[in-house]
A and B are shown apart, each in its own frame.
Chain A
Amino acid sequence: MEVSFVQEDRYTFRIPRRGKMRTDAVFFASKPILAQLEREDYASLVQLMNVATLPGIVGPALAMPDLHWGYGFPIGGVAAFDPAAGGVVSPGGVGFDINCGVRLLASGLERRDLEPRKAWLADRLYERVPAGVGSRRRDLKLNRKGLARVLAEGAGWVVQQGWGEPDDLEFIESGGRLEGADPGRVSERAYERGLPQLGTLGSGNHFLEVQYVEQVYDPEVAAALGLAEDQITVLIHTGSRGLGHQVCQDYVQNFLQVAPKYGVELVDRQLAAAPIESPEGRAYLGAMAAAANYAFANRQLITHYVRAAFEAAGFAPRDHALRVVYDLAHNNAKFETHGGRQVLVHRKGATRAFGPGEPDLPPAYAAVGQPVLVPGDMGRYSYVLVGTEGAMEKSFGSSCHGAGRVLSRARSKKQAKGRDLVRELAEAGVELRAVSRRTVAEEAPEAYKDVAEVVRVVEGAGLGRRVARLRPLIVVKG
């Protein structure tokens, strides 16, 4: 498909509505990012144009600067739908890994406290945070009834079991529990897949990083978030594991069957959709919220394991003092009010980025805006941003979720052949512990855009504001 776009300002590009598109598509990019999009034959922009064909879409179909070719929606895609105008919900617009997201912990330690025990801590984290298939969770026996409570209650259930602090919940998007979760809409197979995996990291691009605050750009906001230079932080990236994958599979297939009944024409079957206000749409939203709660609980339980690992490495709780800075999702669909009307905002590989004074912010952050956590690759750095009024105006309060890949996994593996990436990273000061050598090769730093460029565009487009840059010291991968 031919793709043509016009540049509206330095970082904003518009694809005018044509063909089956119901609205325009808008994406945020710079020259280097445009060059990367061209290298994948604008596949991600074609996917964005496909999103614009879905019924009930409000405003343009949007893509953040980390956009790249995914399935159904592009990665980095944001689209809002009006339930009152026949708007649809699309499981492909949320993704298989429902409520995949990142959580940032801040510690009471500084880099100099950690350096002498870095390798020791890396081993303790690798031991205590199970990766997934083939690894065993140590201290949690969960039955179906318990899992149903996880799906209904989210991170709060984990804290009730004593695996976390009540304060943790205040700093999780939506308090760690999405409203409307309906565990009865989750299939038995999804339960079966979810039971052994709560508290596991998973593989692929999921990770656990211990970092230090390398640079503070905005001292006032950093202080509000409790971040200061040289401070040790921990970033956890994982989602709803097999349970979420199964929910997505179940409902994509269901929606493919019912879409014709509702007159939803699909230009890509992975965009299977049903009206929000249909029985099928409501059922998916109930199951999706349940899977989202599983993901919140998963990151909460991993936080517990991280605290235990720090203690096993000789850091007493009063010294490591690990607390949640924020936990936010980058694969979900949420009801929000924008422009005076309630819409369902899909974010796939995109994060919420609410500006100061918006609802659902912890009181401590009300004046500075919502923290936006942007992981980079394992060799470079990650960023902490805050949401802005600009994001509220331009992108339904959304921003980027990461660096975005530039190399396919096959190409990354090919380029890494013959190299000892573990040693290269160690020489750069990063202790890497990984289950799979192939994952390490596929996730090599050069497989990703330089996240600094993505963040530069986000800031230039007014979708977020830089607060701090975090540099990895320990990386654990499944």
Chain B
Amino acid sequence: MLEHTADVGFEVEAGSLAGVFEAAAAALLHVLFEGRLPRQGRRGERLALTAPDLETLMVRWLDELIYRVQTLGEVPVRTRVRLGAVPEEQRLEAELDLLPFEEAHDRFAGEVKAATYHALEIKQIDGRYRARVILDV
């Protein structure tokens, strides 16, 4: 987790770009919930998102997960991400393992408003990928 006075930030690292998106989803859950959540959901769902660039794709991905938890009451306890790109568009396809919110309610730590673009960064260092995100809480 990153030090940020008003909000909450995190930095995640993975061996692949898709892994960074999965790690960012796990970091978001770490902000939303206290303690461990089950690794298995009750049902699966597929999701597809597009964006003009990777940073916007990260913001849309996290905002989508925030919406799933806080509006639909579905907690994505595990995500499997595939990324692709066509000219001028980044594409994400994900499989989500969803747990009903009621089953994690006692561990809910508070709402997240949104992922921000402030200081947002996705970069490759020494063959690994790293992302930094600041959430508005």
A residues neighboring B (CB under 8 Å):
40, 43-44, 68-72, 75, 95-97, 132-134, 189, 192-193, 196, 202-204, 242, 245-246, 248-249, 252-253, 256-257, 268-270, 272, 405-411, 435-439, 442, 478
Contacts of B8 in A (CB 8 A): 408-410
Minimum C-beta distance from A301 to chain B (A): 18
CB–CB B5/A257 < 8 A: no
Given contacts A134-B101, A202-B111, A436-B109, contact A408 B120 (CB under 8 A): no
CB proximity of A74 to chain B, nearest CB, Å: 9
| Chain B hits for A43, CB < 8 A | 5
Which of B4, B110, B117 touches A204 (beta carbons < 8 Å)?
A: B110
Interface string of B100-128 (1 = CB under 8 A from A): 01100100111101101111100000000
Q: Is the CB of B105 within 8 A of A72?
A: no
Which among A192, A252, A256, A409 has the highest number of chain B CB atoms within 10 Å?
A: A409
**Distance, CA A438 to CA B8, complexed state (A):** 13
| Contact between chains at B137 and A270 (CB < 8 Å) | no
Contacts A69-B4, A134-B102 known; 10 new A-B pairs at CB < 8 A: A71-B134, A75-B6, A132-B70, A133-B108, A204-B110, A256-B56, A257-B52, A406-B5, A410-B3, A438-B34
- Pairs across A and B, CB under 8 Å, 24 listed: A40-B5, A71-B136, A72-B116, A95-B136, A96-B114, A133-B101, A133-B108, A134-B101, A193-B71, A204-B111, A204-B113, A204-B137, A246-B67, A252-B117, A253-B56, A268-B117, A269-B118, A270-B116, A405-B5, A408-B3, A409-B8, A438-B110, A439-B109, A478-B111
* B22 to A: closest C-beta gap in Å: 22
Option from A40, A96, A203 in Cβ contact (under 8 Å) with B110:
A203
Q: Enumerate chain B residues within 8 angstroms of A96, measured Cβ to Cβ.
A: 113-114, 136
**How does the 8 Å CB contact mask read for B1-30 relative to A, with 1 for contact and 0 for none?**
101111110000000000000000000000
The listed residue with most A CB atoms (<10 A of its CB), out of B59, B101, B114, B137, is B114
| Chain B: CB-nearest residue to A74 | B6
Contacts of B63 in A (CB 8 A): 249
* Contact partners of A97 in chain B: CB under 8 A: 113, 136
* B contact residues around A70 at 8 Å (CB): 6-7, 118
Assuming the contacts A71-B118, A133-B101, asked whether A245 and B4 have C-beta atoms less than 8 A apart, the reply is no
Whether B118 pairs with A270 at a CB distance below 8 angstroms is yes
Q: Shortest Cβ distance from B7 into chain A, in angstroms?
A: 7
Q: Which 5 A-B pairs have the closest CB atoms?
A: A71-B118, A203-B110, A269-B117, A71-B116, A270-B118
CB-CB < 8 A to B119: which residues of A? 71
**A409-B9 Cα distance, complex, nearest whole Å:** 10
CA distance A203 to B137 in the complex (A): 8
Contact B6 A436 (CB under 8 A): no
Which residues in B have their C-beta under 8 angstroms from that of A253?
56, 59-60
Q: Quick one: closest B residue to A437, CB to CB?
A: B34
- Residues in A with CB closer than 8 Å to B105 are 134
